[in-house]
Amino acid sequence: MILLFFVGIMILFLGYKFYSPFVLKQFNLDENMQTPAHAKNDGVDFIPINSKKNMLVQLLNIAGTGPIFGPIMGALFGPIALILIPIGNIVAGSVMDLGFGVLSLKNGGSNLPILAKKYIGKWSLYIITAFTLLLLILVGTVFVVTPVNLIASSFNMAEHTTLITGLIFVYYIIATLVPIDKIAARFYPYCTIILLIGTCLTLFGTLFLIFTGDVTLPALDGNLFTWHPAGTALIPGFIVAVSCGFISGFHTTQTPIVAKTLDSSKDTRKTFYGMMVLEGAIAMVWAFASLALFTPEGLLSTIQEGTQSLVVNNVANTTLGFFAPILIIIIIIFPITSGDTAFRSLRSNIAELFNINQSKVTSRLLVSLPIFGASIFLMTIGFETLWSYFTWANHMVAILSLLLVTGYLKHLGTNYLVTLVPAVILFFLNTMYILTDRQIGAGLSFTHGAIGSAVIAILGTYFLLKNSKSWRGDDLD
C-alpha cells in the first residue's frame, strides 16, 4: 500500500509536469495579457497580489476540510482510493480549475453565472445561478459545522458549541466585508504553509508507525479495493464521497476571487492547475493515513460516532501524540478560511447579479446579512444530510462548469475533449448517485439508476451544448 501511495503522488507530479501545459495550450492564453487586478483595481476585490502569496491563498481557499473529510470517506472503499484520487485530479479537477481560471481571467474576473450568460446564453443564467448560490451557502454552512465539530470533539468543549459557532460567524462577517488584502492576502499564505507542514507531519508520523511495526498494513492479496462496510457501491459512491481532491465545483466559485488578484497571466497554470494538484496530494495523505490506521469497519464506526472530525482527532493523536492538538488547530484553520471565502464569493455573486456596488461597507453588509441568516437556518439540518447535499451540488456545479469550458474550447477550435470527457463521466456518476441514493435520492436499483443516468447524462450534455452560444459559434457579447 505504501507503493500505491507513492505511485499516486507520482501521477500527480507527472500530470502537472506534462499534461497541464497541453491543457493550457488549448486556451490560447496570452501570457502578456493585463490581468483584471491591474485593469480594474478597486482596492477591495481587485488588487494585485504577488505570485507566491496568490498561490497559497488559492490553495487555502479551495481546500477547506474537503481534501481531509472526503478522502476519509473514500478510504472506506479501500486502497483503490490511492489511485482514483490522483487520476481524477489530473484529468478532471485540475483541468476544470485551470480552464475556469483562464475564462475568468479573460473576462475581468467574472463569476460563473455571468460567464454562463456570455458563453451559454441568458437562459442558463438562472439555472447556474441557482446551483452556484445553493452550493456556496451549503459550503459556508458546512465550513461552520466542521470546525465546531473539530473543536468540540478534540478539546472536550461540546457544551460550548453555541459560543464557538457565534465566534466563527463573527469572524466570517468581518472577513467577508473587509478588502481581500487585509486578511486573506496578509495571513492566509502563512496559514497555508503551516497547513502543509502539518500534512507532512501526518504522513511522516504514519510512515514511522508502519516502519517501526506499531501499525501493520492490511495485505492487498491482489485486490485494490475492499467492500465498503456499509455496502455502498464503488460506482457512483466513491466519486461523490471524495469530491474535493478529485474534482470540486466549489473551486469555480473561488477561482474568480484569485483571478481578480492575479498579478501576471504567466502565473495562471501554477496558480490554478498547480494548487489543485497540491490539494490532491493533501487528499492522498489523509486517505493513506485512514487506510493505515483503521480497518474499514473501524473507520465507518468512528465516522458514525463523531463524523470525520473524530477520525481526524484519532489520526492526529496516533501519529503525533503530544503534538496532536497543534495539528488539529491547523486543520481547524482549513474550513474557517474556506468558509469565509465561500461567503465572500456568495456576496460577490449576488452583487454582480443585481449590480450592487460593493465599494461601501454598508452595501457589502446589506448583501451579507441575509446570507448569514440562511446559513444559521441550514445548521439545523443533520451534518450527514448536509454533507450529502453539499457533495451532490458540488458536482453539479463542476459539470456545468466543465460544459461551459467545453463550449469555449469548441469556439476556439481547439481540443475540447479535455473537458467534455470528464464532464460526461461526472454527469453520469452524479446523476446515478441522486437516482440510487436512499437518503437524499430516488432509491432506484443499481441497474435502473445506471440506465437512467446514462440517458440523462447524454441528453443533458447534448441539450446544454446544442443551446450553448459558444458551441454553436454565435457572436459572444
Per residue in 292-302, pLDDT (tens digit) is 999 889 999 99
> For residue 328, is pLDDT > 90?
no
> What is the distance between the alpha carbons of residues 35 and 49, in angstroms, rounded to a whole number?
11
Domain annotation covers residue 467:
no
Arithmetic mean of pLDDT, 242-256: 86
> How far, CA to CA in Å, does 95 sit from each of 67, 88, 100, 259, 272?
17, 10, 8, 16, 9
Which range of 40-49, 223-232, 382-391, 399-408 scores highest in mean pLDDT? It is 399-408
Domain annotation covers residue 460:
no
Mean pLDDT, the chain, integer: 87
> For residue 352, is pLDDT > 80?
no
> For residue 145, is pLDDT > 70?
yes
Domain annotation covers residue 369:
yes
* 243 confidence band (pLDDT: 50, 70, 90): confident
> For residue 465, is pLDDT > 80?
yes
Strands (E) located in 221-295 = none
What total of structural domains would you count in the chain? 1
> For residue 322, is pLDDT > 80?
no
Arithmetic mean of pLDDT, 307-318: 85
Would you state the pLDDT for residue 183? 63
369-391 burial code (b ≥16 CB/10 A, e <16): eebbeebeebeeeebeebbbbbb
Would you state the pLDDT for residue 334? 67
Domain annotation covers residue 179:
yes
pTM, entire model: 0.87
CA angle 297–320–221, rounded 5-degree value: 40
Estimate the crossing angle of helix 251-259 against helix 324-353, to 10 degrees. 80
Amino acid in the structure at residue 370: P
Domain annotation covers residue 250:
yes
Domain annotation covers residue 465:
no
Residues whose CB is less than 8 angstroms from the CB of residue 459 and which lie 6 or more positions away in sequence, other chains included: none
Domain annotation covers residue 426:
no
Specify the range with the lowest mean pLDDT, choosing from 185-194, 214-223, 441-450: 185-194
Would you state the pLDDT for residue 222? 66
Range of the domain at 327: 2-113+141-397
Domain annotation covers residue 270:
yes
pLDDT, tens digit (0-9, with 9 covering 90-100), for 44-85: 788 898 888 889 888 877 876 778 888 999 999 999 999 999
Would you state the pLDDT for residue 343? 84
> The CATH number of the domain where 95 resides is what?
1.20.1740
Would you state the pLDDT for residue 64? 66
Positive or negative, the Cα torsion across 148, 154, 159, 164? negative
